[in-house]
Chains A and B, each alone.
Chain A
Amino acid sequence: EIVLTQSPGTLSLSPGERATLSCRASQSVSSSYLAWYQQKPGQAPRLLIYGASSRATGIPDRFSGSGSGTDFTLTISRLEPEDFAVYYCQQYGSSPLTFGPGTKVDIK
């Protein structure tokens, strides 16, 4: 089973700042099969990024993903008020599918 570790656990930033979230895998994620989701309180997760770097339909271009192998990054170029949420990475390169524990981005 591939274990995903996300850091930091919490990121305290102000609107307009840049957010950099990390997701590290315990072994290489094949074909960069790595996705990112955003979840707000009381809501279902929303797909942001798949294939490590491809934005999902309707996702603003301030969200970008990068990385390969065991190290992946989600970057939010300029935080908007609606971006404060919890972000999860998920690998789908091998079974079982696994999620990281999440990074909470909150308002400083």
Chain B
Amino acid sequence: EVQLVESGGGLVKPGGSLRLSCAASGFTFSSYSMNWVRQAPGKGLEWVSSISSSSSYIYYADSVKGRFTISRDNAKNSLYLQMNSLRAEDTAVYYCARFLGKDWYFDLWGRGTLVTVSS
């Protein structure tokens, strides 16, 4: 079955760090660009970061630039998001999502993992 499964969310204090993981299965992970998209409670969707299939190209939203780092391990079929200097406004469900080919829309999504930043 083609799927993405996120893990690593939880409660963290402001200024703290957290590392999210996304395990891919059922498709050739190394052939696809991957992303993190987040959704604050009761709010809409916000693109966070993208990484190309070979990690050659990496992009971030301005809201997380300098604090978050996206990476991947194609040998382990895994995507990561290292989140540092967390703020209350980073509280959200974080989704792992796949780009289909060269066009940047999201054709496959994981179920998400909740990150709560609170003291």
Q: Which residues of A contact B (CB under 8 A)?
A: 33, 35, 37, 43-47, 50-51, 56, 88, 90, 92, 95-102
Contact = CB atoms under 8 A, between A and B. Distances in A.
Contacts of A33: 103-105
Contacts, number: 51
Interface residues of B, number: 19
A96 B62 contact: yes
B42 to A, nearest CB: 11
Contacts of B1: none
B107 A47 contact: yes
A51 B112 CA distance: 25
A102 B109 contact: no
Contacts of B46: 99
Interface of B: 44-47, 50, 59, 61-62, 95, 100, 103-107, 109-112
Given A44-B95, A50-B100, A99-B46, 15 more contacts: A35-B105, A44-B109, A45-B95, A45-B109, A47-B105, A50-B105, A88-B44, A92-B103, A95-B59, A96-B59, A96-B61, A96-B62, A97-B47, A99-B45, A102-B44
A98 B62 CA distance: 12
A88 B28 CA distance: 28
B44 A44 contact: no
A53 B50 CA distance: 24
Contacts of B50: 97
Contacts of B45: 37, 45, 88, 90, 99
Nearest to B93: A44
Taking each of B50, B59, B103, which has the highest tally of chain A beta carbons within 10 Å of its own beta carbon? B103
Contact of A99 (B44, B107, B110): B44
Given A44-B109, A44-B111, A56-B107, A96 B95 contact: no
Nearest to A46: B109
6 contacts: A44-B109, A46-B109, A47-B107, A90-B45, A92-B104, A99-B44
Interface centre among B103, B105, B106, B107 (most CB of A within 10 A): B105
B9 to A, nearest CB: 14
